[in-house]
Structure 1
Amino acid sequence: MSSKHVDRLSMLPEEIWLHILSLLPLKFAVQATILSKQWRHTWTLLTNLNFDGFHPIHDKQRLETFVDGVMKYRITSQVNIFRLCYVYWSVRKSALSNWINEAVRLNVRELDIELIRLELPLSLFTCKTLTKLRLSNGRYDKSGWECPCPVNLPCLKILDITVYGDPFLNAFKLISGSPMLESLSLQILLHSGEEEYIFNIPTLKRMKLSFHNCSDTNKVVLNVPNLESLYVGGKMFSLFVMEDVSSLVAATIKCHSIYGRGDLWDALLKGVGGVKSLSIGKVPYISYISPPPGIPNMSRKVKQLVLEDSWKSKEIVQVLESCPGLEHLHVQKSAEFDWIAPKLVPACMLTNLTTIKLKVLGDMKCDVKFLEYMLGNGQVLKRVTIIWKSICNIRQEIMLCSQQLLKLPRASRDCEIYVNETMLRSTGI
């Protein structure tokens, strides 16, 4: 700092400034080379090729010219990451094929492509070094993409794909050709076939499935003995059959609607009832002629339950009664002025439930009756946390409500109350 002529950036070790530049989209990494003479040609050494950073107002031709130049003048023999994601753009088929072919030749490890009218070269589907692959059509593009058969991706561990139409033209070919797959994220859009979706993947540990506008004649069969985490989202149109999910620890169920098929909801929840951590979105409304679906009895293994998207009090009670071994409850409640207490205190509140986290989106006064019941009957409660987001004068509202909360009787002497992570005390917050 004492000298005005020392180029301190150039004095950094090569591995440090290469790492710094590799964290940037390549467009900005190239621009950053003007900061130091020694960096002038460093972009040719970068192994992370992230081509994000071109604004939509720019000409697509400028993007293609830039990518062509980068792929032509590279002097390294390795590409770790090749990323090209533009939800509103397409590129020439020949250009994309050339770029991916070159990335494969340079032993690419991670490939992330999102473009309109996605067409992929054959070399991608037999890449021996690929460990992570993400493929998606651009936004509003329903043309879909296909892959040849057979597929051979011997090192692929992470697969994240969005497909339009028949997943047997692409998704299941990729899955069957990836013997080391550990993480799968699959979103299926606009498919009305009658096939069964059978996932027989012994190596899989994490799975995320989302279905939108698919037929209600499909069946999803999970034979994934090493699966630890499962997410199911979108619209519930399919019957889930859990052939083997013996290692499942955590599950998230966020389905928008069922349209008269409460049995699908019941089957799915029963199938994941043995997990330790369960997160459920809003209980889907079936139709005005059918009652809302219930919560089937869970096993005592369910220790943590997260209820998202504004649950009503009676629904929360039903869940508590269904989870006798529950220890931790996280809930987002809808604003209700009337709280109807159950006739019998749920078993988990007498023996296991130790923490409650309540997310309040509006007036917390609406939830005082609910909190009064939970505090007055939770025999082993240790902590109740209230996360309150209010558009009102939040400090004043917290002070008023905290005084009321402190007056509520507590069945557990060890129970502490926190509002926005601050513990309430008899003298105030």
Structure 2
Amino acid sequence: MSSNVDDRLSSLPEEVITQILSLMPTEVAVRTSILSKQWRYSWTSVTNLYFDDIHGRNLSDVYYVNYKLEVDRFTKFVDGVLKYCKTSQLKSFRLKFSFICVLDVSVSKWIDLAVRLNVRELDINVLELDLPLSLFTCKTLTSLRLAYHEHESWEFPSCVNLPCLKTLDIVVSDNPFNTAFKIIPGCPILENLSLDLAIRQNEHDYIFNIPTLKRLELTFRSIIDYVVNKVVLCLPNLKHLLVFGKIRSHFVMKDVSSLVDGETPSALRYYLPMFPNMTHLELNSFWHCGQILEFLHCCPVLKHLCIGEKLGKANWIDHPKLVPACMLTNLTTVVISNFNGQKCDIEFQEFLEYMLRSAEVLETVTITWENNMLCERLCATLLELPRASRFCEIHFIGN
């Protein structure tokens, strides 16, 4: 570039430069200090701190060549950044260490410093984790995500108090009653909760009694196949429920009267309450056609139905006499994904024929094939089926 060209980036207002640097990985932001004297300390005002152990690195070096050197270098780098960071309101602080194992004492110190900088969003994904007591009484924290790989229990103060926390996301490798369930009672305005739980044999029920909660996502990783846990939901303001994993749980819907959106595995099929406000439903993991119909009876205002993974073969009754209320007045969209055209043809045709004959306001049925071979015979058969709704279209996705 010509020497006569103005440096328009450096002429930007300081707050704009700070915003740009805050959007970068912290290591990149710090490197701008070598550009000129003017830029030497610009990075110290960033409001987002993001440390990632693999950013811009050769993983073979991290694993084999300079592992200890890399850990020491990274530890000193984070220490230095926090020492010179001069912001009084840290918007977000993120640590993601997937390959190097930083001492939990160092991680605890960094989190404590972030709390002292009035952090609002905290995202910690490390191999070892020891949380400072100051975290559990942070008055500015609005979002907290914790993921770690060692089996540990945290030390808690006598009273957890996170008055501004709205989002809590925890991956728990061990007993959640020593970690996550001690945090939840101290969050008076919690709206979003995501728990990734490793289910083990224990005597405790998983009770969720959170009046303010609007979204709940549960992922169960069963360590022992015969473990059966009881999950009690008393969530009067819950609007979105997502449940994943290998589950052998008894779900008790004590109060989910506001639920409008759900995504569930087959484990919930044996304990079906009414969902008077649910408008969007996703069903995964081997739901039988008959069981799907049973679920529809529990969702009188359902508008959108998504059936994922595979359809089972059992429990279908030809031409059921009672039509779910949602099919008469609300159900407009049905999506069936990953369907295998070589299996369940007869039952699937009967099930879809029943829906097309009964769903009076249905607008779109979309079928995605599991493999690249689209069964033309089945497509032709489905297209010829009579439809209660004259506006209904059937779409096929495949080769």
How far apart, CA to CA, are the structure 2 residues paired with 1:341 and 1:222? Answer: 32
Q: Which runs of 5+ in 2 are unaligned?
A: 63-69
Q: Which amino acid aligns with 2:361?
A: V
CA apart distance, 1:118: 1.0
What does 1:140-289 correspond to in 2, within 5 Å? 141-213=150-222, 216=227, 218-254=229-265, 265-267=269-271, 269-270=272-273, 273-277=274-278
Q: Is the Cα contact below 8 Å between 2:363 and 2:389 reproduced in 1?
A: yes
Q: Calculate percent identity across the aligned residue pairs.
A: 48
Q: Is the Cα contact below 8 Å between 1:164 and 1:191 reproduced in 2?
A: no
- State TM-score, norm by structure 1: 0.74
Structure 2 residue aligned with 1:129:
140
How far apart, CA to CA, are the structure 1 residues paired with 2:247 and 2:344? Answer: 32
Q: Describe the shift of the 1:128–1:325 C-alpha distance in structure 2 as closer, same or farther (beyond 3 A).
A: closer
Kindly provide the CA deviation profile for residues 224-248 of structure 1, in whole angstroms up to 9, marking residues without a partner as x: 3333323333343443333333333
Q: Describe the shift of the 1:169–1:246 C-alpha distance in structure 2 as closer, same or farther (beyond 3 A).
A: same
SS in 1 for 2:52: coil
How far apart, CA to CA, are the structure 1 residues paired with 2:171 and 2:202? Answer: 17
Structure 1 residue aligned with 2:349:
369
How far apart, CA to CA, are the structure 2 residues paired with 1:157 and 1:338? Answer: 42
SS in 2 for 1:347: coil
Q: Is the Cα contact below 8 Å between 1:153 and 1:179 reproduced in 2?
A: yes
SS in 2 for 1:165: coil
How far apart, CA to CA, are the structure 2 residues paired with 1:350 and 1:226? Answer: 27
Structure 2 residue aligned with 1:385:
366
Structure 1 residue aligned with 2:29:
29
How far apart, CA to CA, are the structure 2 residues paired with 1:382 and 1:51? Answer: 48
Structure 2 residue aligned with 1:356:
334
How far apart, CA to CA, are the structure 2 residues paired with 1:73 and 1:376? Answer: 69
Kindly provide the CA deviation profile for residues 236-273 of structure 1, in whole angstroms up to 9, marking residues without a partner as x: 34433333333333333236x6xxxxxx7533x32xx2
Structure 1 residue aligned with 2:109:
98
CA apart distance, 1:403: 6.8
Structure 1 residue aligned with 2:66:
none
Provide the aligned length of Structure 1 versus Structure 2: 380
How far apart, CA to CA, are the structure 1 residues paired with 2:162 and 2:316? Answer: 56
- State TM-score, norm by structure 2: 0.78
CA apart distance, 1:335: 7.6
Kindly provide the CA deviation profile for residues 6-34 of structure 1, in whole angstroms up to 9, marking residues without a partner as x: 22322333333332322222122334566
